[in-house]
Chains A and B, each alone.
Chain A
């Protein structure tokens, strides 16, 4: 337990340091883009958040399959925790996108394929989280695992939307590489690593929280069973 706490402290420190480094890279090292100006720097928040939302939903997808296969509650905890963090990052994408779009496209929102599929993706995982709240205790894990698997279908659709359909959303990363300058690429990498560490830190803490909740539920069920048995004994 002490080792885990020490590891978490070091991990927190490394994440904090990487965040500071990312801010330095974004505001000092990365050049100002010529046509869009300073607002283009939103890119360094928007793109890593989008990648992490996709990655989080991928973890939910894999953990959901493993839950259905092994019926081990640990996988359900991981799937749920990852989906919740995925929704947080997807929310960031859906907020930073329109803030970037307004000065560039002159509109906050347009029903572009990438934007629309991202919004649908966000709704799917919000429904996933709501489903967990309303589903009965016995069915909750199974229902959400099935939902977590089918919900993931929208992730590749969202990712490929700018490649499959005509869109005004920029395509920065292609099969040929990244179509931005070297300092911008370095900044994107640093920001992505910093956000990835933040994602892992949030995921670890969220799983710890879910384990604690599970433990409390188990103890409660145990006490309720004991009380029930004692009542039955007294009755008999």
Chain B
């Protein structure tokens, strides 16, 4: 029983780390996409 607990703790933490990292990449990509869009819009307005 204790073994199962350790096993699921290891799997749970591993997947949590991977999901947090994927979420962080996706959030950073969206922020940059918004910035690029904003800059393009500003440049479009000025030209």
Residues of chain A touching chain B, judged by Cβ–Cβ distance below 8 Å, are 36-39, 41-42, 45-46, 49, 88, 91-92, 95-96, 99-100, 102-103, 198, 202, 205-206, 208-209, 212-213, 215-216, 219-220, 223
Give how many A-B residue pairs fall within 8 Å (CB-CB).
72
Complex contact A95–B10 (CB within 8 A): yes
Interface on chain A toward B: helix, strand, loop, or mixed SS? Answer: helix
- On whether A208 and B3 interact (CB within 8 A), knowing A49-B14, A88-B18, A96-B13, the answer reads no
Could you say which interface size class chain B belongs to? 20 to 34
Rounded to whole angstroms, the CA-CA distance of A94 and B17 in the bound complex is 12
Complex contact B35–A216 (CB within 8 A): yes
Which 8 A-B residue pairs are closest in the complex by CB-CB distance?
A39-B3, A212-B32, A99-B10, A42-B10, A38-B3, A96-B10, A37-B3, A39-B6
Rounded to whole angstroms, the CA-CA distance of A41 and B4 in the bound complex is 10
- On whether A99 and B9 interact (CB within 8 A), knowing A88-B21, A92-B14, A216-B39, the answer reads yes
Contacts of A223 in B (CB 8 A): 39, 43
Rounded to whole angstroms, the CA-CA distance of A92 and B11 in the bound complex is 10
Most buried by A among B4, B18, B22: B18
A18 CB → nearest B CB, Å: 14
Cβ contact of A42, chosen from B2, B6, B32, B36, cutoff 8 A: B6
Rounded to whole angstroms, the CA-CA distance of A36 and B7 in the bound complex is 12
Rounded to whole angstroms, the CA-CA distance of A21 and B22 in the bound complex is 21
B31 CB → nearest A CB, Å: 9
Rounded to whole angstroms, the CA-CA distance of A45 and B17 in the bound complex is 13
- On whether A216 and B36 interact (CB within 8 A), knowing A37-B3, A39-B6, A99-B6, the answer reads yes
Rounded to whole angstroms, the CA-CA distance of A198 and B32 in the bound complex is 23
Contacts of B14 in A (CB 8 A): 45, 49, 92, 95-96
CB contacts under 8 Å to A, within B1-42, are: 2-4, 6-7, 9-11, 13-14, 17-18, 21-22, 25, 28-29, 32-33, 35-36, 39
Rounded to whole angstroms, the CA-CA distance of A208 and B30 in the bound complex is 12
Complex contact A216–B25 (CB within 8 A): no
